[in-house]
Structure formats: C-alpha cells, structure tokens
Amino acid sequence: MPVTALDRPEGELIRACQRGERDAFRALFETYKNRVYSVALRFAGDEAAAMDIAQDTFVKLFSTIRDFRGESGFETWVYRMVVNSCLDRRRRERRWLPMADEFIATLRAQGDVLAEMLRVELSRRVRAAVDRLTPELRMVIVLRYTEGLSYQQISDVLGCSGGTVASRLNRAHKALEQRLARIEMEGRHA
Amino acid sequence: MPEWLERELARELKPVEAPDDLWQRVHAVRGAVTVRGRARPPALFLAAAAMLLLTAGALWLWGNPARNPVPQPTASGSCYACHMSL
C-alpha cells in the first residue's frame, strides 16, 4: 500500500511543506483544521468570523512555515498563530456583543418546560458570558476548555508565565461564576 | 471554582469539526500567496550585497587615485608605474 502524505510523521510533513510540497500542505491542514477552527469559533463566537480566522491562520501558517525552526513544538507554533489571528481580528473589530435579557420571560414558564428552557438559557448565557470576557481572559478559557491544554502549554502558547496563566484563569472563573450563578441556582430550583 | 461551572464550560466550549469548505477557502487565497522564506530573501540579499560591493569599490577607487596608477613619464624617461621603488 502506498504511503500517503497523511501517514507521514509530522517532522517529515513539516520539512515537505518547507520544500513546498502540495500534498504535505493538505496533510498538515487535515491534522490541525479542527483545532484551529475550534479555537477560532470558541473565541469569536460566530461561524463566519471563525472561518475568516481559520483561513487567515492557515494562509499565514503556510506562507511562513519556512521560518519554523523547531525551537518550540509545532503544535505550540500553530496555536500561537491562531491565537494571534483571533487577537488581531479582535483588535480590528473592537466589537462587543450586546447581551439581550430574555431571562425574565423564561422564568415565567412552568415545570419541565421551565427546566428545559433554563437549560437552554444557561447554555446561551455561558456562551454570552465567555464572549464578554476580555480577549486575554477569554483566550485562556478557550485554550483550557476547548483544547484541554495544561497551564504550561498555555503559557508556552501565550508567551507568559505559568503564574500569569493561573491568575487569568482564576479571574475568568470568578467573572463567569458571578455572571452565571443566578441562573444556575434558578435551574436547580425549577 | 464550582463543579457546575467547570461542567458548563466543558460542554459549551467543546471542540468542533471544521467545515468542509475551509480547505477550498484556504487554497483559493493561498494560490495568490507564495510560500515565502529562504528562497526569496537570498536572491534579494545577493543583489543588494552586489550593489553595495560595486558602490564601495567605485568609492574606494575614486578616493584613492594613487592606488590606480597611470603611467607618468619622469624626467629621466622612466615610469612611476614600473619603478615604484624609486
């Protein structure tokens, strides 16, 4: 059976990309597309923006892959690219999502319907609360919960200390808890 | 952090699959973008270095006419270019 680009070890794939081999680009894209898109979507909060960020990340990645010297892991390098694309887009847009308050109407419903509505509402609120975090806090939350990165990996990606990562996560958790505690309590009583 | 928050974050922020048309979009843009890196800068670098060398050489020659001897006849009929030790 012939060895396809997807079967090649990552180091070899990277070198093939650095030589400009088309199949290798596709294989590397397939390896990282879900991780890049997930970070973009969870950070940006909408699919159109996530597509733009993911596209931008891969175009940058492919056009600068010859600069990759292997000083950090390739995965860390990819995460840095998508983080930078997210933050760049954020800086360009300076867009804050308005948070509609439909919670009172939800509370008027009864029984199981109410519990289900609260579940949906909590889900919507979690996303809205994450969207309202500052970009720095939101990014550590996304890297931690979407990608499951360790504190050390997050600090490598963001280029800050482990203490800074811990502090940002702590601040983000407190902010989210404050914003979401009320609706969670209502959900438990429904 | 409360357990419910940990649970909600894990659920709401779980990873997703990239849409199928992402590759087409990347590929369409990448068609116009060449892989840059070591291939181009050396050519530019070499051209710049050659220009710099030529300019420096021209300036050096211009500033040191004595090092670019032109045969001068002496009173005795000999030549400085051929008889520098004189």
β-pair partners for B79:
B73
pLDDT for residue A5? 52
Q: Which of A20, A47, A123 sits opposite B12 (nearest CB)?
A: A123
Chain A contact set for B30 (CB, 8 A): 25, 58-59, 62-63
pLDDT confidence of residue A71 = 82
Where does residue A163 rank: exposed (0-12), middle (13-18), buried (19+ CB within 10 A)? exposed
Dump pLDDT digits (tens) for B17-31.
999 999 999 988 866
Å between B18 CA and nearest CA of chain A: 5
Domain span at B74? 16-86
**Residue B46: its pLDDT value, please?**
86
From CA A17, how far away is CA A34, in angstroms rounded? 19
Of A88, A178, A168, give the one whose Cα is nearest residue A136.
A168
Q: Which residues of B32-57 are buried (b: 16+ CB within 10 A; e: fewer)?
A: eeebeeeeeeeeeeeeeeeeeeeeee
Banded model confidence at residue B86, pLDDT cuts 50, 70, 90: very low
Nearest to A146 among B14, B25, B39 (CB): B14
* Cα–Cα nearest to A43, from A97, A6, A101: A97
For B1-56, the pLDDT digits (tens) are: 788 888 889 999 999 999 999 999 998 886 655 555 444 556 778 888 889 999 98
How does residue B70 score in pLDDT terms, banded at 50, 70 and 90?
low
The answer to whether residue B31 is domain-embedded is yes
In a domain, B3, yes or no: no
Q: Which of B8, B14, B25 sits opposite A122 (nearest CB)?
A: B8
In a domain, B2, yes or no: no
Q: And the tokens for B32?
A: 């116009």
Task: Say if the Cβ atoms of A173 and B5 lie within 8 Å.
Answer: yes
Domains of chain A: 5-93 (1.10.1740.10), 103-189 (1.10.10.10)
How many separate domains does chain B show? Answer: 1
Which residues from B are below 8 Å from A78, CB to CB? Answer: none
Which amino acid is residue B8, in one-letter code? E
DSSP-based three-state secondary structure for B79:
strand
In-domain check, residue B5: no
Chain B neighbors of A51, CB-CB under 8 A: 19, 22, 25
Contact A146 B4 (CB under 8 A): no
Which residue, among A77, A78, A18, has the nearest Cα to B35 in the 3D structure? Answer: A18
Residue B9 covered by a domain: no
B32 close contact with A: CB closer than 8 A: no
Structure token digits, residue A139: 């990014």
Rounded distance, CA A19 to CA B38, Å?
10
Report the alpha-carbon distance of residue A56 to residue A81 in Å, rounded.
9
